[in-house]
Structure 1
Amino acid sequence: MVSGSLARMSRDTRLIWALCVASIGIYINLYMMQGMLPLIAEHFHVSTARSTLVLSVTSFTLAFSLLIYAVISDRIGRHKPIVWSLWALALSNLLLIYVDSFNGLVAVRLLQGVLLASLPAIAMAYFKEQLQPQTMLKAAAVYITANSFGGIVGRLLGGALSQYLDWQSAMWVLLVVSMIGVTITQWLLPSTDSATKREHRARHWQFSQEGLIDLRGFWRHLQDSQMRLAYIIGGVTFMMMVNQYSFIQLRLMDEPYDWSRFQATLIFLCYSSGTIASYFTARWISRHGQLPLFKISLLLMLSGTLLTLVENQITICIGFLLSSCGFFVTHSCCNSFVAMRANRHRAKATSLYLCFYYFGAAMGGPYLMMFWHHNAWQGIVVGSLLLMVVITIAVWRLGSEQRLAAAASQPQLVKAHH
């Protein structure tokens, strides 16, 4: 009966569901640790602030592995790298069950960052190859929703497990959840058709001849000043936002709030404002363009961050709702800007953006930790305001360069008209 249902399901639908299930599993594995920071600190006998490095090191190796997968999948296809890396990721959770030191935990999470990168690097290219343009737009929207959903579920699951289970038991749960997710993904994922196999086989034989072109594709985008500014805006914004969520848990578990481990992870529900906002961002971009939205997003993140200084639980939650909305709008604007500006090597342009994005997350932990040690949450706010100054300068520079480019093209248009 199950096989009959699968046969009736269209190839496009199977691909979309497979990558969405895989995405949920990926982001549960990535962000579950963020909800378990207090348990990690207790189990491995480190400070709660130092425990945030677990998220940073994973983001670090994930960032640079994105570039590798972008090249590999162009050579051997999309299907194999996704399936192989997902199984390796699931099985690597066995190492987490038996790890007995914080340094050992960091080492395993470094490895897992490499395995986590496959799907984010390949998914959009997979959709573009296999789906019609209209179907791809819908698939992309559903996939991004799955990303957000997986991140929220992972953090809440981590908080619940750290509240009621010990470390080993929690890691067994993660292993089982991961194995179920990979099994469903492989069951749903359609096999590669013969034409696509021949195309990737041809690309594989040309690897030695075209390897330099792959590097030129990355370099082409890095030489584009407007593209660099978009990368910086996205990376610095994520550097601030994702790590604010790590440290606010520590603040809420302290006096006068005294939230439990699980209660502290409920702050991640504030991500939902960003999920809703990102759904409407495409419409807003078409009406107003990216630059006005960048400015509005900055105001939202500034006001939201300042509100968290008020010693009131509801006000803190409102602050994070505003900041999350601003962050997701910024992320959506950067994504669309990179996709629209890249006329060639689009997969590499997207991989570079995600590389900056996750590298920002990796650097944000150690950066904000210095401010946390100096003045707790007030220090985090100061560190965040400094990052917002960088974002403001980058947005201003991007606007200036766009105006200069428009002015430079104007005489050519006049000349062509005459």
Structure 2
Amino acid sequence: MSVNNSQVILPNHSVVQNNASAPVHQHEVRLIWGLSIASVVVYINLYLVQGVLPLIAGTFDVAIKHATLLLSVTSFSMAFSLLLYAVISDRVGRRVPLLISLYLLLASDLLMIFVSDFSQLLALRLLQGVLLAAVPAIAMAYFKDELSKGAMLKAGAVYIAANSLGGIAGRLIGGALSLELHWQQVIGVVLLLSLLGVIAVHRLLPSHSINSGSSTLSILDKKPMSWLTSIQDDFRGFCLHLNDVKLRGIYLVGGLAFLVMVNQFSYIQLHLMAPPFNWGRFQVTLIFLCYLSGTFASFYSGGWIARFGREAVFRLALAAMFLGGLVTLMNTILAICLGFLMSSFGFFLLHSGCNAWVAQRAKIHRAKATALYLCCYYLGASLGGPYLMPFWQHWGWRGVVFASSLVLVLLAWVLFKLTRTIPFESSSTKLAAS
């Protein structure tokens, strides 16, 4: 039976067409922009240190290779904290833990201005990873709980575009400010920008649930539980999604794709700093402007998936990532920039599609499903460096492209299995029905 002309009456009595092209109402727009701005704040703070590593090394008298630990420890604590926020938000709701984490992030930025040695800074960055995890762990589940079906794809597209903009801004702001300002002044500027963003998020996020018929908790979650039973139910929620073959495949896709993407950007900076290019430390951060093609892809991904189907869009994304790496082997500035524009376009198209797919497939314990995806996502990034290092040491950039291509072949096989397998009901759907 066709549903293209069916209508849904929202709590404010507005009428929405129940399809992918349905209009997005003002309260939905506020939620989308609120979480997108929160995402920009998070990724500016996460990737700031990549642009200021020389400044940090000089300020705290450490080697640059030791200064890189500031990003590693943050990513590590962030990855595992995603699972914690998934549990908390399924228990107490989405808005409160998200806002608390953002205000505590501001406090941690303020403390960074007064640190006197590198070990203190390292500890603060470890703490920041815990705080930064809240937004990515909660956002897609928040969208799924509160938005209409028509708004969901649009929300995922805008949100992932905001991720890429935050990643670009963090690296470029840090690199540019480090040329003229001291460490404390750089953090002061970032604190001010983050404060403005958090205030905007607080004002934009609805204080009450938009969809009164929706709940962030499952029926089982609503029952009074003992402490032990509560932990067991949370564990059951994670196992539920890990037992879903489709979701496991999506998690693997995200991890493999980010393994290639983020580490290619790391190694291309080393390549561009070496002869014959000899780029400076700030110049190499400009390669992250290639993320803008990913911003474009993310923004339009929802419409493309609705129009052409997930399988066709994923094939395009994978082809762009694979061909982008090959184009860089021409080893000219133009070819490298073009190749990374292609790779970024493909990666963010794939990532935004997977993010929305996870949120749509998980019927209960939604934040846990998203957290597992992002945990695999960041785990892939952490494994990519050691995996690509021997290829870089022996064959330089060509070795990195070759090793990345091997991963993309595996990714193509996983995508083939995911998109060609006859659709089946998810395990979370079965549990919710029972």
Q: 1:91 aligns with which of 80, 87, 107?
A: 107
- State the distance in 2 between where 1:17 and 1:265 align: 27
- 2:353 corresponding residue in structure 1: 333
- 1:349 corresponding residue in structure 2: 369
CA contact (8 A) 2:154 2:303 kept: no
2:225 is the alignment partner of 1:206: yes
Shift of 1:10: 6.4
Residues paired across the two proteins, number: 394
Could you tell me which runs of 5 or more consecutive residues in structure 1 were left unpaired when the two chains were aligned: 1-8, 407-418
Matches within 5 A, 1:157-176: 157-176=173-192
- State the distance in 1 between where 2:178 and 2:399 align: 27
- State the distance in 1 between where 2:50 and 2:349 align: 22
Deviates more, 1:229-238 or 1:121-130: 121-130
Matches within 5 A, 1:267-346: 267-346=287-366
2:40 is the alignment partner of 1:20: no
CA contact (8 A) 2:146 2:211 kept: no
- State the distance in 2 between where 1:53 and 1:323 align: 26
CA contact (8 A) 1:300 1:325 kept: yes
Matches within 5 A, 1:339-378: 339-378=359-398
Q: Which amino acid aligns with 1:352?
A: L
Percent identity over paired residues = 52
Q: Deviations over 1:243-299 (max 9, x none)?
A: 221232232233322333332222111111122223333344345443444333332
CA contact (8 A) 1:24 1:147 kept: yes
Shift of 1:86: 0.8
- State the distance in 2 between where 1:65 and 1:348 align: 11
Closer, same or farther: CA 365–268 of 1 in aligned 2, 3 Å: same
CA contact (8 A) 2:55 2:183 kept: yes
Closer, same or farther: CA 12–288 of 1 in aligned 2, 3 Å: closer
Closer, same or farther: CA 312–40 of 1 in aligned 2, 3 Å: farther
Closer, same or farther: CA 206–305 of 1 in aligned 2, 3 Å: same
- State the distance in 2 between where 1:204 and 1:182 align: 34
Q: 1:64 aligns with which of 80, 87, 94?
A: 80
Closer, same or farther: CA 43–217 of 1 in aligned 2, 3 Å: same
Closer, same or farther: CA 112–192 of 1 in aligned 2, 3 Å: same
Q: 2:270 aligns with which of 235, 250, 269?
A: 250
Matches within 5 A, 1:47-126: 48=64, 51-99=67-115, 103-126=119-142
Could you tell me which runs of 5 or more consecutive residues in structure 2 were left unpaired when the two chains were aligned: 1-24, 425-434
Q: Deviations over 1:350-401 (max 9, x none)?
A: 221112112222332343344444444334324323322332342344356x
Q: Deviations over 1:28-85 (max 9, x none)?
A: 1112223334444555566656654433332222122112111111222222211211
Closer, same or farther: CA 399–23 of 1 in aligned 2, 3 Å: closer
- State the distance in 2 between where 1:42 and 1:381 align: 33
Matches within 5 A, 1:31-46: 31-43=47-59
Shift of 1:11: 5.2
Closer, same or farther: CA 39–302 of 1 in aligned 2, 3 Å: farther
Q: Greater share of helix residues, 1 or 2?
A: 1
- State the distance in 2 between where 1:77 and 1:40 align: 38
Please tell me the root mean square deviation across aligned C-alpha atoms, in Å. Answer: 3.2
Matches within 5 A, 1:133-212: 133-192=149-208, 203=222, 205-206=224-225, 208=227, 209-212=229-232
- State the distance in 2 between where 1:195 and 1:233 align: 31
- 1:387 corresponding residue in structure 2: 407
- State the distance in 2 between where 1:85 and 1:26 align: 10
Q: Which amino acid aligns with 2:240?
A: R
Deviates more, 1:61-70 or 1:87-96: 87-96
CA contact (8 A) 1:163 1:261 kept: no
